[in-house]
Amino acid sequence: MVDRRDIGSWLTGPDTSGISKYPGERLGLPESGPGSIARAGRRIVAIIIDWTLALLISNFLFSGDSWATLAVFAAEQALLIGTLGYSIGHRAVGIHVIRLGGGPAGPIAALVRTLLLCLVIPAVIFDPDQRGLHDKAMKTVLIRR
């Protein structure tokens, strides 16, 4: 005979045994401080800084054309992340992009990551470790410096 313990109860809630305690735990990253996952607040401020700079450059050089703004933003992201590991906004808020193994993102990963970021949707769909699809696709992670 099947009783209530066999089928569980909605009162017990979902099984959370496989869920990590904090973003980055599954990746072996610390909970806070340097090397921890960059949280949403820092990411949002960084992208606002980067977009504002792209908008200023676009307004000055291209009369504010929206496609030019996107191109300037993409160029900044791809070039700076591909060479330095961070954009101007990332640097301002103390975060940078690395590969999951700990190495630099590199130019190819930065380029593909940037193209996906410019599509917006991959950046707003993220996992429990707060990695967007653009980071998951290139096996990168945005961490605190």
- The CA dihedral of 20, 21, 26, 32, to the nearest 10 degrees, is 160
The answer to whether the CB of 48 falls within 8 A of the CB of 92 is: no
Domain count within the chain: 1
The pLDDT-based confidence of 143 (bands split at 50, 70, 90) is very high
The answer to whether the CB of 140 falls within 8 A of the CB of 99 is: yes
The pLDDT-based confidence of 15 (bands split at 50, 70, 90) is low
Any domain includes 58:
yes
**Distance, CA of 142 to CA of 106 (rounded, Å):** 14
pLDDT in tens, 47-86: 999 999 999 999 999 998 999 999 999 999 999 999 999 9
Question: Residue 41: is its pLDDT beyond 80?
Answer: yes
Three-class secondary structure assignment of 99-116: ECCCCECCHHHHHHHHHH
Any domain includes 21:
no
Any domain includes 97:
yes
Any domain includes 95:
yes
Of 8 and 58, more confident: 58
Q: How far is CA 122 from the centre of its chain?
A: 10
| Of the candidate ranges 65-69, 101-105, 141-145, the one whose mean pLDDT is the lowest | 101-105
Per-residue confidence (pLDDT) for residue 17, from 0 to 100:
57
Question: Residue 3: is its pLDDT beyond 80?
Answer: no
Any domain includes 92:
yes
Any domain includes 77:
yes
- The whole domain housing 126 covers 29-144
Against a cut of 0.85, is the pTM above it?
Answer: no
**Distance, CA of 35 to CA of 95 (rounded, Å):** 9
Any domain includes 71:
yes
The answer to whether the CB of 77 falls within 8 A of the CB of 117 is: yes
**Distance, CA of 138 to CA of 69 (rounded, Å):** 24
pLDDT in tens, 24-33: 888 889 999 9
Any domain includes 12:
no
